Amino acid sequence: MNAFTSLMDGFGTALTPVNLLWAAVGVLLGTAIGVLPGIGPAMAVALLLPVTYGLEPTGAFIMFAGIYYGAMFGGSTTSILLNTPGESAAVVAAMEGHPMAKAGRGSQALAAAAIGHFAGGMIGTVLLVALAPTVADLAVGIGAPDYFALMVLAFIAVTSVLGSSRVRGVASLLIGLTIGLVGLDQMTGQQRLTFGSLQLADGIDVVIVAVGLFAIGEALWVAAHLRRAGAEAIPVGRPWLGRADVRRTWKSWLRGPLIGFPFGAIPAGGAEIPTFLSYVTEKRLSRHKEEWGKGAIEGVAGPESAASASAAGALVSMLTLGLPTTAVAAVMLAAFQQYGIQPGPLLFEREPDLVWGLIASLFVGMVLLLALNLPLAPLWAKLLRIPRPYLYAGILFFAALGAYAVGGEPLDLVILLVIGLIGLGMRRYGLPALPAVIGVILGPNAEQQLRRALQISDGSVRGLVDTPFAVTVYGLIVLIMTWPLWKKALARARRRGIDVEA
């Protein structure tokens, strides 16, 4: 009841005209920036951080929250329409959303994503209000072996369900893990795959990798085949979800937050792992398996709902522990410190107006996001009617702009082109790009958690399985890897049973 009363006071703060204006500005800016390939929500908040120096803290953080959710939806927009994720959490949306767009169902994919963001954000924020202390306690108790087990689960899951074969999925993952090795070893300080370049010492940013593999790789692939296949405009389709679409997606919208929220709240979680796991879950549960890879709407609805809920989960650790679990949370933590505010257990007591106003603004931002972007779905989908030579020239320009904005170094553009050529080669030989991106995102963290776990256990491999949580996760991994064998065995048993009855 105390939390409910505080939330009502927060709505009193969030619904003032000035704060409503900042929420609307944040959602619009976030969506517009998220549409640009390579400029995700973390960069958007970082770029706007100096602009908010003159703002009152509550209004500034309400605008940041709007940018966060708006940029996540904007990133999924380009991911669906152009196969060009605006940020890493939108990578999965391209897997089913882009085939839907090419089939003339871009508006439906965008509507499923918008409603998924709304449902995931609402459910995630309710869980934030109700479960923040409990989830924070669980997050504190998770150690290095558990983190490593979760990352191995993500590796196995993503290579098991994507591509024409597991071998190709593993090959793509190895490419990503190799790219993730570039830079300085975090524990020894030794250079790895830097070729003596100081600019590579910090590694290759995941934004450059994602934009290179998806945007540049896609643009080069289209350019290579443009003369063979005419540049016909893709039909936009009707701008609403039919009853059949709603029947297929409503369960996905509700399942997504159950996966996204817990992963958002734990360190090394973020929106990447839950979106991949949501994709895997929806594919396993789908009754329309023949549509996967060709435009299954559940593959858009579930992951987008999980991504939005993970954003609310990320705020749990950031507000209650001062522990950022995502890049955006880290930037927002810096913003708190800029105002002389230290997130942690005492934040709810010392700054109740700010915290509960921020949480209430998440509900307001979700409504604004849905109200603004559902009517705009057909308008965004008309991007596909632009002739492809002009469209992909624009993609190349914004992709290069986003990559250059990451570090401001000309070498980043060279790296972008090289990774784009790798993406073209992967497309040519049927290697899915998603495991490579996962390898870049999670590879360095997985290595660090593995080494920490081994150090704690004095080099004993048993240290990787000395917690019930890790054992459970490894059990899931074994189940995923052996499921095809079990499936074949069950099919044989059924056939034998039928033969015996006959």
> How would DSSP label each residue in 59-104?
HHHHHHHHHHHHHHHHHHHHHHHHS--SSGGGTTHHHHHHHHHHTT
**For 205-270, what is the HEC assignment?**
CHHHHHHHHHHHHHHHHHHHHCCCCCCCCCCCCCCCCCHHHHHHHHHHHHHHHHHHHHHHHCCCCC
Hey, what are 201's tokens?
A: 């010492």
Confidence (pLDDT) at 46? 63
Hey, what are 162's tokens?
A: 């994507």
Query: What's the Cα-to-Cα distance from 400 to each of 100, 372, 408, rounded to whole Å?
Result: 26, 28, 11
Hey, what are 95's tokens?
A: 């897997």
Per the CB < 8 A criterion, the answer to whether 169 and 429 are in contact is: no
Give the three-state DSSP class for 489: helix
Residue 169 to residue 248: CA distance in whole angstroms? 27
Name the one residue in this structure whose structure tokens are 């993609």. 395
pLDDT in tens, 269-285: 556 678 878 888 888 87
**Minimal CA–CA distance to 231: which of 103, 389, 104, 102?**
389
Confidence (pLDDT) at 498? 64
Per the CB < 8 A criterion, the answer to whether 104 and 286 are in contact is: no
User: What's the sign of the alpha-carbon dihedral 397, 398, 400, 401?
Assistant: positive
Which pTM value belongs to this model? 0.63
**For 123-154, what is the HEC assignment?**
HHHHHHHHHHHHHHHHHHHCCHHHHHHHHHHH
User: What's the sign of the alpha-carbon dihedral 488, 494, 500, 502?
Assistant: negative
For residue 175, the tally of other CB atoms under 10 A from its CB is 24
pLDDT (tens, 9 = 90+) of the chain, 502 residues, equals 466 777 787 788 778 888 888 888 888 887 777 666 555 666 666 666 666 666 777 888 788 778 877 877 777 777 777 776 656 667 777 788 888 887 777 778 888 888 888 888 888 888 888 776 565 556 556 778 887 887 787 788 767 655 457 788 888 888 888 888 888 877 777 888 777 777 777 778 776 787 787 778 777 877 777 655 444 445 555 556 777 777 888 888 888 888 888 777 765 455 667 887 888 888 887 777 777 777 778 888 888 888 888 888 777 777 776 666 666 776 677 777 767 777 766 777 777 777 788 888 888 888 888 887 777 766 666 665 667 677 677 777 877 876 777 677 788 888 888 888 998 888 888 787 777 877 887 788 788 888 888 888 887 878 788 888 888 888 888 887 787 777 778 777 777 766 655 5
How many residues in total does the chain contain?
502
For residue 193, the tally of other CB atoms under 10 A from its CB is 14
Instruction: Say which amino acid occupies 437.
Output: V
